[in-house]
Structure 1
Amino acid sequence: MGRLVPAVTRALDVLELFLESEGPLSAPDVIRRLQLPRTTVHELLTTLAARAYLDPLPGQPGRYRLGVRTYQLGSRYAEQLDLAAEGQRVAREVAETCDETVHVAVLEDTDVIYIAKVDSTHAVRMVSAAGRRLPAHCTSVGKMLLASLPEDELARRFADDGSTAMSAETTLTLTAMTPDSITDPAVLRAELARTRERGVAVEHRESNPDVSCVAAPVRDSAGRVVAALSISVPMIRWSDGREEELARLAVEGADALSVRLGHRGRR
C-alpha cells in the first residue's frame, strides 16, 4: 500500500465533517474539531471552495456548506450502485464473521425474493438460493420488511376478495410453510409490532423446521427500508445467547449495506 498524502487526507477530513454537521461550518469550527493550524485550515477551505467542493455562504464570511461538486460525485456513485452486488459483498463480510448463512432480500407484494446469499462453511447449514421466493410472513427478512410498511399499505397487500386480511375481523388464514408458521393475521400484526419495537425480526422454524433466523433493515439514501439482511442458523447451533450475538451482527451488516447505499443515519 502506498503512502497516504497528508494534504489530501486533511482535505477529506474537512469534507467529512459535514457528514456529522447539521448545517454550515466556519473556519473556527474546522480548526477546533480537527485541531489543525489556522493557516492550514484557511488554505484547505479556499482550495475546496475554488474546486466547488465547498460553497461560501452569501453574506456570511468564513462559513461554508457542501458545494455542487460533492452532489455530482454522490449522484454518480448512486447511479452505479447495484443492490444485489453490494448486498452480496456485505453478506460475505458478515458470513466470514459468524460462519452462518447470510441472506439479503427484498419485498415484492407479500413475498420476499432473496437477491444475495453466502453460505456457512459448516457441514450442517441452510439449503437455499438467491432468486428464491417465499411468503414474507414466514421469514425474518419478510417480517422486517412488512414491519416497515405503513399500516394502510400493509392492509392493502394482504387484502383478500375485498376484505382486509390485517384487520381484527378477518377470518383469512395465511399460508403455512411449517407447523410453526404464523397463519393468523392478528398474530402477525402483533409480531410486526414487536419487530418495529425491537428493530430486528426473529423467525423460529417458520419457513424451515430446522432453522431459526434474525434480520435487520437496510435503508437507502432517503432513509427508506429497501431490503433486509438476515443470518440463518440450524437449530442445533441456536440459543438465546447466540440469537443476541447474531442480532447484533445482522444490525451491523444491515447498517454497513445501508451506508453503501448512501444512508447517513445510524442505529
Structure 2
Amino acid sequence: MARAVPAVERAFDVLELFLDTPELSAPEITAQLGLPRTTVHELVGTLADRGYLMPAGRGSNRYRLGVRGFQLGSAYAERLDLTREGQLVAEDVAERCQETVHVGVRDGVDVLYVVKVDSSHPVRMVSAVGRRLPAHCTALGKALLASLSRSELDELYGNRRLEAMTERSITTRKALRKELDAVAKDGVAGEYCESNEAVACVAAPVYDRADQVVAAMSISVPILRWNDETEAALRDLVREGAGTLSERLGYIGSRA
C-alpha cells in the first residue's frame, strides 16, 4: 500500500465532516478535527477554490459542500454496474467461505440470478446466471420481497398461488408474510431445502444510493456441510458482503 499523504488525508477529513452536518464554519472544523487554525483556513480556502466547498450564503463565514463533489459523485453513479460490482464482491465472499455465492434481482414474483461464483468444493449447488426461481422459495427472493410493504406484496401476488418446489416450500400468503416480517427485522433471509432438497441458503438485501433494495446476495451450501455453526457464520458473512456491495453502489445509510 502506498504511503498516505497527510495533507490529502486532512482535506478528506474536512470534507467528510459535511456528510453529517450541512454547514460548518472554520472554527467548528478546527474544534472537531483538532487541527491548527491556520491549517484549517488553508485547507478550507483550497477546497473552496477548487469547488469542493462554497460559502453557505453571501458574506457568510460558514461553508457547505460545493458542486464539484456532486459532479464527481454523479460521474461515479453513472458508471456503476451492479453485475460488475456484484461479481467483485461475490468473488471475495466466495473465497472466504469456499461456498457458492449469488447476486440476484427481483423480476415480478421471480428472482433472477445475475452473478454466480462457484464453490471450490467438488459437491456444489447447480445453478447458472440468468436462471429464474420463484422468489418465495429462495433466500434471495425473501431478502428482496421483505423490502415490500404489505400492500405492495398483496398487489404483486394478487390471487396467484404460491407453487411449491419442494415439500418445505412456503405455499400460503400468511406463512410468507410471517417469514418476510422476520427477514425485515433481522436483515438476513434463510432457506432450508425450499427450492432444492439438497441445499440450504442465507441471503441479505443490497441497497443503492437512494436507500432502495436493488438486489440481494446469497451463500448456498449443500446440506451435507450445513449445521448451526455454519449457518451462524454465513449469516454474518452474507450480511457483511451485501453491505460491502451496497457501499460500492453508493449506499451510505446505517444498514450498509
Could you tell me whether the CA contact under 8 Å between 1:202 and 1:213 is conserved in 2?
yes
Superposition pairs of residues 96-107 of structure 1, within 5 angstroms = 96-107=95-106
Cα deviation code 1:104-127 (max 9, x no counterpart): 110000000011111111122111
Secondary structure, counterpart of 1:249 in structure 2 = helix
Number of residue pairs matched by the alignment:
255
Matched, 1:253 2:244: no
Separation in structure 1 between the aligned mates of residue 6 and residue 85 of structure 2, nearest angstrom: 30
Aligned-partner residue type, residue 234 of structure 2: L
Superposition pairs of residues 1-267 of structure 1, within 5 angstroms = 1-19=1-19, 21-58=20-57, 61-160=60-159, 165=160, 173-267=161-255
Instruction: Tell me which stretches of 4 or more aligned residues in structure 1 moved more than 6 Å.
Output: none
Aligned-partner residue type, residue 242 of structure 1: T
Cα deviation code 1:221-258 (max 9, x no counterpart): 11011111111111122112221211111111111111
Query: Do the aligned partners of residues 42 and 198 (structure 1) sit closer, same or farther apart at CA in structure 2, a change above 3 Å counting?
Result: same
Secondary structure, counterpart of 1:105 in structure 2 = strand
TM-score, normalization: structure 1? Answer: 0.91
Separation in structure 2 between the aligned mates of residue 2 and residue 204 of structure 1, nearest angstrom: 45
Aligned-partner residue type, residue 194 of structure 1: A
Separation in structure 2 between the aligned mates of residue 32 and residue 100 of structure 1, nearest angstrom: 48
Note the aligned Cα RMSD (angstroms). Answer: 1.5
Could you tell me whether the CA contact under 8 Å between 1:255 and 1:266 is conserved in 2?
no
State, as a whole percentage, how many aligned pairs show the same letter: 60
Unaligned runs of 5+ in 1: 166-172
Query: Do the aligned partners of residues 234 and 51 (structure 1) sit closer, same or farther apart at CA in structure 2, a change above 3 Å counting?
Result: same
Secondary structure, counterpart of 2:210 in structure 1 = coil
Unaligned runs of 5+ in 2: none
Separation in structure 2 between the aligned mates of residue 183 and residue 123 of structure 1, nearest angstrom: 32
Query: Do the aligned partners of residues 14 and 192 (structure 1) sit closer, same or farther apart at CA in structure 2, a change above 3 Å counting?
Result: same
Query: Do the aligned partners of residues 226 and 60 (structure 1) sit closer, same or farther apart at CA in structure 2, a change above 3 Å counting?
Result: farther
